[in-house]
Amino acid sequence: MSDFDPTIVAFLCNWCSYTAADLAGTSRIAYPPNLRIIRVMCTGRIDPVFVMKALSSGADGVLVAGCHPGDCHYQTGNYRARRRLTMLKELLGAVGIDPERLWLRWVGASEGDLFARTAADMVEGIRKLGPNPLGRAWSA
Amino acid sequence: MAGSLERARAGGSAFDREAGHVLVVGGGPAGLRAALDVADLGLAVTLVERAAATGGTLTQLDAQYPTVDCGACQILESVAGPPWPARRCLRAGLDHPLVTVLTSSRVVRAERLGRGYEVAIEVGGRWIDPERCVGCGACAEVCPVTVPDEHECGMRTRKASFRRHGQAQPPVHTIDEAACTRCGECVEGCPSGAIELGREPLEREIRVDAVVLAAGFSGFDPALQPAWAWGRHRDVVTALELERLIGPVVQSGGTLRRRSDGAPAERVAFVQCVGSRDEERPYCSAICCMHALKEAILLKERLSVREADIYAIDMRCVGKGYEATLARAFEAGVRVVHARPGAVEPGERPMLRVEQPPYGQRLEPYDLVVLSVGVTPPAGLAELAALFGVERDEHGFVRTVSDGLARTSAEAVFACGGVTGPCDIPWSIAGASEAAMLAAARAGLPGPRRVEAAAASAVLADLRRPEAVPALPLRGLSEGRVLEAPGPEPVQVTARALVIGAGPAGLSATLSIAEAGFDVTLVERSPKPGGGLRWLRRRLGGPAPVELLEGLLARLEATGRVELLTETEVVAHRGAPGAYVATLRDLPNGGERLLRHGAAIVATGARELEPAGRFLRGEHPSVITQLELEERLAEGELAGRPTVVMIQCVGSREPARPACSRVCCQEAVKNALAILEKAPDARVLVLHRDIRTPGFDERWYEAARRAGVLFVRLDDDRPPRVERRQDGGLSVVFDDPLLGRPVRAAADLVVLSAGARPALDGAGASRLGLRLDAGGHVVEASPKFRPVEATRRGLLVAGMALAPVLVDEAMAQGRAAAARALAILGRQRLAPRPGAVAFRAAFCASCGLCIDVCQAGARELEEGKGAVVHASLCQGCGACVAACPSGTTDQPGLDSRSVLTTIDECLEVTS
Pick the closest to residue B524 from B537, B551, B505 (CA basis). Answer: B505
What percentage of chain A has pLDDT greater than the value 70? 95
pLDDT recorded at residue B451: 28
Q: Show residues of chain B in contact with A84, CB under 8 Å.
A: 882
pLDDT recorded at residue B15: 35
pLDDT recorded at residue B73: 84
Mean pLDDT for the stretch of residues B695-714: 96
Residue B482 has pLDDT above 60, yes or no: no
Cβ neighbourhood burial of B466 (10 Å; 0-12, 13-18, 19+): exposed
10 Å Cβ neighbour count for B656? 5
Higher pLDDT, B165 or B427: B427
Mean pLDDT for the stretch of residues B409-424: 96
Q: pLDDT (tens digit, 9 = 90+) per residue, B501-515? A: 999 999 999 999 999
Pick the closest to residue B420 from B375, B372, B452 (CA basis). Answer: B375
Q: Show residues of chain B in contact with A59, CB under 8 Å.
A: 903, 906-907
Whether residues A68 and B900 touch (CB distance < 8 A) is answered with: no
Whether residues B251 and A111 touch (CB distance < 8 A) is answered with: yes
Q: Produce one character per residue of B183-208: b if its CB has 16 or more CB atoms within 10 Å, e if not.
A: eebbbebbeeebbeeeeebbebebbb
Q: pLDDT (tens digit, 9 = 90+) per residue, B322-378? A: 999 999 999 999 999 999 899 999 889 999 999 877 778 899 999 999 999 999 999
User: Touching check for A49 and chain B: CB below 8 Å?
Assistant: yes
Give CA torsion, residues B402, B405, B411, B415, to 10 deg. Answer: 150
Residue B34 has pLDDT above 60, yes or no: yes
Q: What is the mean pLDDT of chain B?
A: 88
Q: pLDDT (tens digit, 9 = 90+) per residue, B599-609? A: 999 999 999 99
Mean pLDDT for the stretch of residues B525-543: 93
Mean pLDDT for the stretch of residues B628-633: 95
Residue B792 has pLDDT above 90, yes or no: no
Higher pLDDT, B684 or A3: B684
Q: pLDDT (tens digit, 9 = 90+) per residue, A20-66? A: 998 898 888 999 999 999 989 899 999 999 999 999 999 999 999 99
Residue B480 has pLDDT above 50, yes or no: no
Q: Show residues of chain B in contact with A50, CB under 8 Å.
A: 896, 899-900, 903
DSSP-derived secondary structure letter, B386 = H
Mean pLDDT for the stretch of residues B160-169: 87
Q: Show residues of chain A in contact with B876, CB under 8 Å.
A: 41
pLDDT recorded at residue B6: 33
Q: Show residues of chain A in contact with B882, CB under 8 Å.
A: 44-47, 80, 84
User: Touching check for B906 and chain A: CB below 8 Å?
Assistant: yes
Residue A18 has pLDDT above 60, yes or no: yes
Residue B242 has pLDDT above 50, yes or no: yes
Judged by DSSP in three states, B314 sits in coil
pLDDT recorded at residue B834: 66
Higher pLDDT, B93 or B133: B133
- Min Cα–Cα distance to chain B from A50, Å: 7
Residue B777 has pLDDT above 50, yes or no: yes
pLDDT recorded at residue B92: 74
HSE, side-chain direction, 13 A CA sphere, residue B294:
26
Mean pLDDT for the stretch of residues B883-906: 87
Residue B18 has pLDDT above 60, yes or no: no
Whether residues A75 and B855 touch (CB distance < 8 A) is answered with: yes
Whether residues A75 and B896 touch (CB distance < 8 A) is answered with: no
Residue B453 has pLDDT above 70, yes or no: no
Q: Are strands B889-890 and B838-839 parallel, antiparallel or unpaired?
A: antiparallel
Contact B721, B732 (CB under 8 A): yes
CA angle (B102 as vertex; B96, B107 as ends), nearest 5? 130
Q: What is the mean pLDDT of chain A?
A: 91
**Which of A10-19, B445-454, B510-519, B774-783 comes out lowest in average pLDDT?**
B445-454
How confident is residue B304, by pLDDT bands cut at 50, 70 and 90? Answer: confident
How far CA B357 is from CA of B275, B341, B419, B488, B736, in Å, comes to 22, 11, 37, 68, 12
Q: Which of B62, B89, B163, B904 to mutate: most A Cβ within 10 Å?
A: B89
How confident is residue B446, by pLDDT bands cut at 50, 70 and 90? Answer: low
pLDDT recorded at residue B911: 46
Mean pLDDT for the stretch of residues B193-204: 94
- What is the C-alpha separation between B340 and B313, in angstroms, rounded? 6
Residue B99 has pLDDT above 70, yes or no: yes
User: Touching check for B249 and chain A: CB below 8 Å?
Assistant: no
Whether residues B853 and A80 touch (CB distance < 8 A) is answered with: yes
How confident is residue B402, by pLDDT bands cut at 50, 70 and 90? Answer: confident
User: Touching check for A134 and chain B: CB below 8 Å?
Assistant: no
- What is the C-alpha separation between B750 and B620, in angstroms, rounded? 10
Judged by DSSP in three states, A64 sits in strand
What percentage of chain A has pLDDT greater than the value 90? 73
pLDDT recorded at residue B838: 84
Whether residues B877 and A68 touch (CB distance < 8 A) is answered with: no
Q: Which residues contact B379 (CB under 8 A, 6 or more apart)?
A: B218
pLDDT recorded at residue B399: 97
Q: pLDDT (tens digit, 9 = 90+) per residue, B570-589? A: 999 998 889 999 999 999 99
Mean pLDDT for the stretch of residues B865-869: 89
Residue B481 has pLDDT above 50, yes or no: no
Residue B483 has pLDDT above 70, yes or no: no
Q: Show residues of chain B in contact with A106, CB under 8 Å.
A: 251-252
Q: pLDDT (tens digit, 9 = 90+) per residue, B261-300? A: 999 999 999 999 999 999 999 999 999 999 999 999 999 9
Residue B454 has pLDDT above 50, yes or no: no
pLDDT recorded at residue B5: 32
pLDDT recorded at residue B135: 86
Residue B748 has pLDDT above 90, yes or no: yes
Selected residues 208-247 of chain B with any CB under 8 Å from a CB in chain A? 247
Q: Show residues of chain B in contact with A4, CB under 8 Å.
A: none
pLDDT recorded at residue B638: 81
What percentage of chain B has pLDDT greater than the value 90? 70
Residue B800 has pLDDT above 50, yes or no: yes
- Min Cα–Cα distance to chain B from A73, Å: 6
Task: Kindly provide the ipTM of the predicted complex, given to two decimals.
Answer: 0.93
- Nearest 5°: phi and psi at A80? -65, -40
Q: Show residues of chain B in contact with A71, CB under 8 Å.
A: 69-71
Mean pLDDT for the stretch of residues B703-732: 95
pLDDT recorded at residue B355: 85
Mean pLDDT for the stretch of residues A111-133: 94
- What is the C-alpha separation between B308 and B335, in angstroms, rounded? 6
Residue B108 has pLDDT above 90, yes or no: yes
Which of B89, B891, B902 is closest, CB to CB, to A109?
B89
Whether residues A45 and B171 touch (CB distance < 8 A) is answered with: no
How confident is residue B909, by pLDDT bands cut at 50, 70 and 90? Answer: low
pLDDT recorded at residue B871: 82
10 Å Cβ neighbour count for B852? 11
User: Touching check for B92 and chain A: CB below 8 Å?
Assistant: yes
For B907, which residue in chain A has the nearest alpha carbon? Answer: A59
What percentage of chain B has pLDDT greater than the value 70? 91
